[in-house]
Chain A
Amino acid sequence: MTTFTETRIKIPMFSPSRVWTIATGTMTQLVRMKTFYFLLVFAVLVAAIGNIDIKSASSVSQLETIKKVSFGTMDIFAWLYAIVATALLIPRDLEDRTLYTILSKPVRRIEYLIGKLLGVLVLIAASLALMFTLCLLMLAYKQSGFIADEIKMLQAAPNVTTAEIEEQVKLIQRQGVRPELAVAALASFLKSSVVAVMTILISTFASSSLFTIITSIFFFLIGHAHGMMTDFWLHKTEGNLIIRMLTKVFKLLIPDFQLFSFSEGIVIGAEVVPRVVWSMGFLTGGYLFVFLLISLMIFLYKEF
């Protein structure tokens, strides 16, 4: 006679290994979408901008241009990728019915959300690291060339002292490879993390990927511009009370993405304040926590 005994497997409330499994699955899914081709475009762009010979521009200006274009493109890639990749994930899992398979297993919904977000963030980090390396290589190559040319030119000129040559070299070095540039890349990562978690939140109640992408871009633009728009409206309406209230509501509900654009200042040579960078890291952590919590609140009650 066969007897059946009920076996109860204790499922932990939260399992990092399950999260990591979902994250790696997400990475594979995104890599298969061939989004990394963007890196080729980036490489071509960096090579092109590095080889543009602007005759009327000084070597310092040329280095600055390479930096600004490269880091600007890195920033666009990071936030755009965060929006598009994240917006595609949940609807695609729904379409492929993968979501049902995952959720029918002992996987909690929060693990699923964190896993998806982690997958996107790891890919963004890897892409940013690659682009950053490419950009540094180009900068280092151009910087050494400019310095050699400058020294040659100044040595040939009459009445130029060694101190003056050193001063000029320092000026070029200031616009070349600096450790602070890594913080600029980190700033792009922090910004794209907040964008990704905001997109996850939208995608938990959105009806389609397209809706998620458009709404996320819209919120991103508002989040970027509400400081400027507030100034503008208050200036136009001479501090109208209703406008003031409206702008406060915007500020409370939408992330301030302008604050995350501190890579712009660093790229053009501003000094990095480590305490501020740490604070920005904690702020990003706060956004991730609160937005994931809200996403979970919606996702828990979502019927599939």
Chain B
Amino acid sequence: MPSKLPNWLKIVLILAAFGLVRSPVENSLRRKMNTAGMLLPTPGHSAMAQMGQSALMGMLGGLRTLVATGYLLDSYRHFDNADWDANRKSLLLATYLEPTEESHWVDLVWHRGINAPAWLETRARLPEIEKRILYHEYTRDAIELGEAGLKNLPKSVEIRKQMAEVYREKIKDPCGTAKMYKEMLGLEGAPMYANRFYGYFLSECPGKEKEGYDHLVNLYWEGSHNHLPTLIKKILVLQEELDIPVPLWIREKDPDAQKQINRRIKKPKPLPGGIVIP
């Protein structure tokens, strides 16, 4: 018996039935791919509002990575021209499009926190007050951007390394630097020096000197692999500064003094012909 349903209705019904079957499967796959990072998260509304028409069309056409690369290349151009605001905008759009791409966040913090302040330092004509305001603005912004990056990539060591550099080199904030190194501890890919650096900078953080000293001493007693000149020197200085009881002092010679002695007793190289100049 022929079916009474018109062909178009049958087609719509098949499409809808298939849609109903595949919808939960697709939703589950989307979740799994988002978790694994295989699928990039949807950009926020503010990102779409800031994008140009062609970039938006490119993104809607499935060319997100290409559009993001375009913005990245654009940011290099702005970097060459020392146009820091344009550089920031391009890189920020790249991060909106690829929020899980670590290098965009690292670049953003690096340009904003290191390059832009370094450029300011070389501007002789800029009034000092303006320089100071901009310097503060750039470095603070770098930290905020880094924190935004860490919200997207909470396990990122590279973003933390870059933020630590900004804190250390530009903001001169040992507490912030120590915080970054501390957060790196236990993360996959953390550098071997992170634990020591945490102690070095914590011992320079006002009010946290003793905590920093304790951390360094613990590292020292962990084994000879940690008996590095900087660590020993730092402990020697701190034990005097913090009035640590002498029985608790570490019995090490000052590496700097040792270096000076070595330098003094170092025999000069003989010149051709065996002539030695003392």
User: Per DSSP, are chain A's interface residues mostly helix, strand or loop, or mixed?
Assistant: helix
CB of B257 within 8 A of chain A? no
Q: Assess the A276–B38 pair: CB atoms within 8 A.
A: yes
Report how many residues on chain B are interfacial, defined by Cβ distance under 8 Å.
49
Q: Assess the A279–B29 pair: CB atoms within 8 A.
A: yes
Considering the complex, which residues of chain B in the window 1-38 have a beta carbon less than 8 Å from any beta carbon of chain A? 7, 10-12, 14-16, 18-23, 25-26, 29-30, 32-33, 36-38
Interface residues of A (CB under 8 A from B): 54-57, 60-61, 64-65, 68-69, 71-73, 75-76, 79, 163, 167, 191, 220-221, 224-225, 227-228, 231-232, 235, 251-253, 256-259, 261-262, 264-273, 276, 279-280, 283, 286, 290, 293-294, 297-298, 301
Q: How far is the CA of A280 from the CA of B72 in the complex (A)?
A: 30
In the complex, what residues of B have CB within 8 A of residue A69's CB? 66, 69
* A79 in complex: contacting residue of B20, B25, B60, B62, CB < 8 Å: B62
Across the two chains, which residue of chain A brings its CB closest to B69?
A: A68
Could you list some 18 contacts between A and B, CB below 8 A? A56-B76, A163-B192, A221-B60, A227-B42, A231-B45, A232-B45, A252-B20, A252-B23, A261-B40, A264-B40, A267-B65, A268-B98, A271-B36, A280-B29, A283-B26, A286-B22, A297-B11, A298-B11
Q: How far is the CA of A220 from the CA of B61 in the complex (A)?
A: 8
In the complex, what residues of B have CB within 8 A of residue A279's CB? 25, 29
Give the Cβ gap from B48 to chain A, nearest Cβ, in Å: 7
Q: A224-B60, A264-B64, A265-B100 in contact; A293/B14 too (CB < 8 A)?
A: yes
Q: Assess the A265–B60 pair: CB atoms within 8 A.
A: no
Interface residues of B (CB under 8 A from A): 7, 10-12, 14-16, 18-23, 25-26, 29-30, 32-33, 36-40, 42-43, 45, 48, 60-66, 68-69, 72-73, 76, 79-80, 98, 100-101, 103, 107, 191-192
Q: Assess the B62–A290 pair: CB atoms within 8 A.
A: no
In the complex, what residues of B have CB within 8 A of residue A75's CB? 62-63
Q: How far is the CA of A54 from the CA of B25 in the complex (A)?
A: 43
Q: A259-B29, A297-B10 in contact; A68/B38 too (CB < 8 A)?
A: no
Q: A221-B60, A252-B20, A265-B33 in contact; A259/B39 too (CB < 8 A)?
A: yes
Q: Can you list the 6 inter-chain pairs with the closest CB atoms, starting with the nearest?
A: A252-B19, A270-B37, A72-B66, A265-B38, A225-B60, A262-B38
- For the complex with contacts A75-B63, A232-B48, 5 further pairs of A-B residues with Cβ separation under 8 Å are A72-B69, A257-B62, A262-B39, A264-B40, A279-B25
